[in-house]
Chain A
Amino acid sequence: MSSLITPIDIASTLPFIVLCLFGMVVLLLEVFQRQGQSRSYLAYVSAVGFATAAFSAWLLMGVEGQLVFHDMNYIDGFSKVTALLMCTAGAVTCLIAPRYLAELNADRGEFYALILFSAGGMIMMVSAADFIVFFMALELMSIAVYALAAYVRSSRVAAEAGFKYFLMGAFASAIMLYGIALVYGATGTTNLAAIGQLLSYGAASGSVDPALLLSKVSEQGALAGAAGYDTTTGDLLMLNYGSGTANMPLLYLGITLVIVSAVFKVGAVPFHMWLPDAYSGAPSPVGAFMASAVKAAAFASLLRLLALAFFDYELRMGPMGWVQVTFFLALLSMAIGNLVAIAQTSVKRMLAYSSIAHTGYMLVAITAMGYGVGDLDLGASVVFYLFAYVFGTVGAFGILAYLTRSRYYVERFSDLNGLGYRYPALGVAMTLFMLSSAGIPPTAGFIAKFQVFKAAVIAYGAGVEAGEPGALLLLALVVSGILFSVVGVYYYLKVIVHLYMRDPVREVTASDSGPARVGISVCAIATLVIGLFPGPLLNLSEQAMSQMEGRHDGVYVQYEDGAPIEDLQRLMREGSR
């Protein structure tokens, strides 16, 4: 037996470890805190924690992608890039929070610890190679955020938001867990890549023709195999091999439940119900965190799940394949998110609905990614979109937090009236965030939307060449996406109109918090710079996808004499503790 934990295991989880350590440090500092003393410095400590974690992720860039921790985690381009994303969101959240919390009399250290732990969970979740790790990390993330949502205990709205979020989140977790149990029951493994391979198992060796593979898969059942429990070596493949097609239906049921739950977490219509209440009820910094980091983590892990475990052709493109599902979810999310956002009078709620709309746009890219022969590289547009979206969203929520004084929540559109003149820098920043969210050049959001729609068009082209059915629907999706983003322009513009073209209804005085200014400026500058020079970030997001370890890629593992090749065996073995 190899040694229990190798140095590379530790090194590769460094961002996670750093965040957890900092979380504990923050808690400890809180213990030694004098009553009545400001906790702002904890925000800086946490921001430093995020910076350190991001830095460690950056240092790891050179490390080759591989499985670590007994095949439980990956360290790869994807996990590193998304870790950067989550650390950025977390750090900015920490910067905008202290003054807001002080204004609301809620200046307590747990806040930062919860943010740190939650971000740790996200990083772990995105790098998970196994459902068990995945689920634990998911819960680590979620439970901390449930608490954060209800963080301002004195506020009824926040309490309600937190409670609703918790109840529905718990439901989703239960569904996820049930799904994982069913998948495990059907395949005998919780390893994501192994599940992906097993789904396509039974494919004839030497052929990657999807149509042929499709027929083979359905004939033989994915799990017909020969390997199993080897009495001489004691090695065991935790794989329900002998049952032919019998396990497939159960596997599909399990996958359905897992996907339902994952889609719930990203907040796609019709699983979006919790989202507006949670985002708008939670304190603005928490709203920022939920809308940015949590959403990004949910999407990144969805990408990971789909790419590793659920990229089988039949599962994607078969009857009721997930491409059809994401197609409708994307359409619904864009429609409902954008339309309902117009009806809002609260900026926070508008941002919440717009975040649903953004989910829709990203689902367009995911649909494109899964369409036809499947091109995982198209997922890079989602990664890029997440970056653009995170900066725009955190910044916008940050500005709301920045403007909030004790008892004077700044949430309605009319609260922003005329602020563009009173606080010119703030006005410019907010304008940038809104333009970016609306997808208007030269901001990051434009390139992001462009990438997403381009992905769909590329998938359409590939689909036409391969003679896939319904390729035109993808184009229809693009066109409707564009139309709905026009609707989006309307309500984003409303913010700008209020900032510059309306007379103030009541006096709003900004809290004038230094760190918040830093955080907001970082977002604003990033929004503009990414919009003007998207090259490096585009490369980074492409890298994230291309260097994703264990991705299934629609290319089927070849089998010799009915026995899975070495790679699959390695995945199975020993992972089966």
Chain B
Amino acid sequence: MTMLLAVLSPFVLAFLAPALNRVLGDLTPWVLASLPALLFVFFAMMIGPIAEGEIMFATVSWVPSLGVDLAFMVDGLSVTFALLILGIGACVVLYAGGYLHGHPAIGRFFLSLLLFMGAMLGVVLADNLITLFIFWELTSFSSFLLIGFNHESQKSRDAAIQALVITGLGGLAMLGGLILMGRATGTWSISEILAAGDILRDHELYLPIFILVLCGAFTKSAQFPFHFWLPGAMQAPTPVSAYLHSATMVKAGVYLLARLNPALGGTDLWMMTLSIFGGITMLVGSIVSLMKTDMKLVLAGSTIMALGALVMLIGIGTDYALIAMGTFLVAHSLYKGALFMVAGSVDHEAGTREVPILGGLRKLMPITFAAAAIACLSMAGLPPFFGFIGKELIYEAVLGAEWLAALLVVLAVASSVMIFAVGGIVAVRPFFGPEHPDTPKHAHEAPLLMLVGPVLLAALSLVFGLLASPDGANLVDIYLLTPLATAIAGQPMETNLHLWHGFNLPLALTGVTIALGVLTYRTWDRTRAFWQALDPFIFAGCQKWFYEKPLAGLFAFADWLFRNIQSGNLRFYFMAIFGATMLGLAATIGVRMTPADFAFDMPDARFYEWMLCILIVVGALGAAQARNHLTAIITLGIMGYSIALLFVAFGAPDLAMTQFLVETLTVILVALVLIHLPQRVFSPRGISRARDLVLSGLFGAMMTLVMLAALRVDQDLFISEYYAANSVPKAYGTNIVNVILVDFRSVDTFGEIIVLAIAGIGVIAMLKYRARRDEDDDGTPAPPPDGEPATPPPDADADPPEGSAAAETTHPEDPRDPATDAARGEEDQADPSDAPTGEGDDATARVADAKGEDAVAESPDEQDEAEDGATAENTDAEMTADAEDPTGGTADNAPQDEPKATAKAEEAPATDDATGEEEKPS
């Protein structure tokens, strides 16, 4: 629980920071820095037990069903990182207090900074893959806020977005890897996964896991070819660079690799990839640092170099390499943090960070200079600073590498040479020599707040170096390096750091490094142009090809897609949808069906049936050819009526009746709408016409096939049989039509009666509303005053058909009640019609009318027949044609039930019209 509090406390403080800043004013940095300082002590106290081989766990259940816990683990690796994060964090908070003194948004800055601190702490302490990822993403997001802190500047916005896109992309890829890892090992717990390294390395998913995790680590830790975002991120205020881009966030990727080394490491793939990419990054980073003149960019380059070196060391994976990695990690964090702060101080005091126009600051800023000097000596790798030990170990490690030792040695020496020069560039050039005339401001020593950090960190570089100097198990070995190396290796390690290794190859290499380094520094002004010429290959080129180009391409592609897919053209939309539907049907037909599944046999049709078919085709073609709306409607009408006649011919008069009504109504509606439409019909020409033709032809063909397939289905059962068999025994009625309406479908009937009644009320309301509006004669859709029976639908005034339906049903004398009464009358009649008397028929027939089943024409005859007792025949008559044809098996269930379904679905719109139709007779 204490651990949880420790991890979450920065978040709490973060959200309090703006308020605290308002209250405390200048004291804020001290107060805020006290939290990381306290936490530093908290974690420092764990070092003792950890040095004895203990690993501390703390788990708070979070989402048990996902297996995601707020689980934390503190071992040598995480405690080192935690201490770096908190220690440097405290320094940076103080430093930022001085650097951004008086800045209006300093509260927001502290908020983001502490947010980041909490997130970073979470990353290094997490013992759960998902928790790790969550904190990981939080670091990306809070770093986005920090880099984009000066959001007025387009450059810093772009840099913030670039950093976020790159690290976010990597982070999500890593999530994929983590999920796979969880899948492969069956646990989300990192400590358990570390123990399951053997399973993981032999798992078939090893390659995807490896690649995805690497994407996360490489993007975060600015490895080649993603290194370009780091110099870009220097747009951030300097405290941010000092914190995020030297010691903490960029090392998250290194942390991840070191953390997972016991689980994923040790394979050839791991070794090769990491050491090659790390080596390249190392070289590229140091070249970048030489071609820049801005102190921060120079340092950013050297940070890339350091990150590359760390990754390479993890890749090499020998004991030496891992110890070197641990040493260099700490050494680099210390000196680089200090140097960034120095760069910020110089910028703050002298007004520029451009090395060529700086000089002679030594006397003006003596304390800053001292810090810079010490840090640079450590960076350059000179004894007795900690950096020296780090560099010596790196040389030993690359010399002992199992792979490509020669290449790695060259890379390591080359970059060390350049980094040596970098030390001169940032710590000698600005401070020695005469004051430069172009320096914008006359510098003064930085304020106290801005001195604490660099001095402390620089001093530690020396202290660690001295502490680690004695041969044998010294303090640094016992409390820092041994636990650290043990955690990285995943097995107990012995370390023995000392300053003097005797005259050996590494020492010789150091000599070479110093000599060449001095040379490089002395010739820097002259050779800079050469380094800058490499820019297109190693820096700008990467940025261009790995970020700008793909991004621009993405935008262009998105734009193209947008313009072409979402044209807003309904025709195109329909084309796409028809096309896709056809594709689906075609695939189904292709995969699931054979020619035998279609009823291809020539129908045994009579002459007039053929004629009707031809009429339908003619109608369709005519509609397609029509040059104006009227022709189109007429030809469509021909088609529709022919279909209706076809229904008649096949003995489905009810269906035909419905079809006639629908057709008529459609023509009327369209005609009414037509008045408001332009006369000219849009008719495509040329290619688009052909395309339309092909599309509609195909769609027609597809539908025909579907229909032929439907015809092929055997129908052994008729619903009519069921009714015939059950009418008497179950419902005690001999008139099947009546029984169907009042028994088998009584609820339907009941509901439809209600619908009719409501529709009636609606019609009355509409009529009254219309009458009133005619009086008022204002066109606003104002609702009627209180007490009116009902409101019209919203579009009543704009919708001609409803108006016309209403007009047809007008009862001049009494416009209020008759419809309701009629409806009620029907209801009354319908209720007692359980007994199959003739009286109920009118009502039921009318109801059927509304249903779209339209039994009007038939019911009298059928009733007669029913009274004759010929029930079975009766229903046969309804089903006519099919019953005669045993094989034909036309889908008579379908036509029987289809209109029912549609009628139900369309009840709402249909009833108004139906009411109109119906009330005429009454």
Contact = CB atoms under 8 A, between A and B. Distances in A.
B706 interface: yes
B592 A249 contact: yes
Contacts of B134: 441-442, 446
Interface string A327-354: 0000000001001111110000000000
B559 A343 contact: yes
Given A136-B904, A486-B168, A249 B576 contact: no
Interface stretch (B267-275, B330-338, B781-789, B864-872): B781-789
Interface string B692-732: 00000000000000100110111111010110011001100
B568 interface: yes
A228 B165 contact: no
B130 A450 contact: yes
Interface stretch (B50-58, B63-71, B426-434): B63-71
Nearest to B703: A178
Interface string B134-173: 1001100100100010011000010001001100110011
Interface stretch (A74-82, A253-261, A285-293, A365-373): A253-261
A30 B791 contact: yes
With most chain B CB atoms within 10 A of its CB, the pick from A1, A164, A242, A252 is A252
A342 B904 CA distance: 43
B173 A482 contact: yes
A497 B141 CA distance: 12
Given A185-B710, A453-B176, A339 B141 contact: no
A478 B176 contact: yes
Contacts of B597: 246, 249-250
B570 A250 contact: no
Interface in B562-595: 562, 565-566, 568, 570, 572-574, 576-577, 579-581, 584-585, 587-593
A542 interface: yes
B65 A538 contact: yes
A444 to B, nearest CB: 12
Interface in A14-70: 27, 30-35
Given A33-B783, A236-B717, A493 B164 contact: yes
B268 to A, nearest CB: 23
B555 interface: yes
Contact of B64 (A241, A482, A535): A535
B25 interface: no
B794 A340 contact: no
B588 A256 contact: yes
B500 to A, nearest CB: 49
Interface in A348-397: none
Contacts of A479: 173, 176, 208, 212
A239 B745 CA distance: 20
A253 B164 contact: no
A325 B585 CA distance: 12
A277 B566 CA distance: 8
Given A30-B791, A535-B64, A188 B592 contact: no
A287 to B, nearest CB: 16
B744 interface: yes
Contacts of B831: none
A250 B710 contact: yes
B515 interface: no
Majority-rule SS of B interface residues: helix
Given A185-B891, A319-B591, A342 B573 contact: no
B574 A238 contact: no
A271 B63 contact: no
B713 A489 contact: no
A110 B566 CA distance: 31
B902 A177 contact: yes
Contacts of A447: 63, 66
Contacts of A186: 713
Contacts of B519: none
Nearest to A180: B901
A518 B579 CA distance: 45
B713 A339 contact: no
Nearest to A275: B566
B72 interface: no
Nearest to B105: A421
Interface in B773-806: 782-788, 790-791, 793-795, 798
Nearest to A577: B744
A256 B709 CA distance: 14
Contact of B709 (A33, A250, A446): A250
Contacts of A240: 713-717
A252 to B, nearest CB: 5
Interface in A128-173: 132, 135-136, 139, 143, 147, 153, 164, 167-168, 171, 173
A147 B794 CA distance: 9
A256 B172 contact: no
B761 to A, nearest CB: 12
Interface in A469-483: 475, 478-479, 482-483
Nearest to A111: B794
A390 to B, nearest CB: 20
A46 to B, nearest CB: 16
Contacts of A485: 172
Given A243-B716, A457-B179, A539 B709 contact: no
A577 to B, nearest CB: 6
Interface residues of A, number: 112
Interface in B202-255: 204, 208, 212
B63 A534 contact: yes
Interface stretch (B76-84, B346-354, B444-452, B892-900): B892-900
Nearest to B179: A457
B794 A535 contact: no
A83 B716 CA distance: 40
B689 interface: no
Interface in A105-136: 108, 110, 132, 135-136
A320 interface: yes
Contacts of A175: 581
Contact of B591 (A184, A320, A336): A320
B758 to A, nearest CB: 10
Contacts of A505: none
A273 interface: yes
Nearest to A453: B179
Nearest to A277: B568
B521 to A, nearest CB: 40
A534 B714 contact: no
A276 B568 CA distance: 9
A440 B172 CA distance: 9
Interface in B73-110: none
With most chain A CB atoms within 10 A of its CB, the pick from B151, B581, B745 is B581
B554 interface: yes
A487 interface: yes
B904 A132 contact: yes
Contact of B63 (A464, A497, A535): A535
A229 B905 contact: no
A404 interface: no
B522 interface: no
B592 A252 contact: yes
Interface of A: 1, 4, 27, 30-35, 108, 110, 132, 135-136, 139, 143, 147, 153, 164, 167-168, 171, 173, 175, 177-178, 180-182, 184-186, 188, 228-229, 231, 234, 236, 238-243, 246-250, 252-253, 256-257, 259-260, 264, 270-271, 273-274, 276-277, 318-320, 325, 336, 339-344, 435, 440-442, 446-447, 450-451, 453-454, 457-458, 460-461, 464, 475, 478-479, 482-483, 485-487, 489-490, 493, 497, 500-503, 533-535, 538-539, 542, 576-577
7 contacts: A136-B904, A139-B906, A185-B893, A239-B717, A246-B714, A344-B562, A478-B176
Q: Which 9 A-B pairs have CB atoms at the shortest separation, nearest pair first?
A: A501-B151, A273-B573, A441-B134, A243-B714, A343-B558, A343-B562, A249-B597, A249-B593, A342-B558
Given A108-B794, A500-B151, 8 more contacts: A253-B593, A256-B587, A271-B577, A277-B566, A320-B591, A447-B63, A535-B65, A542-B65
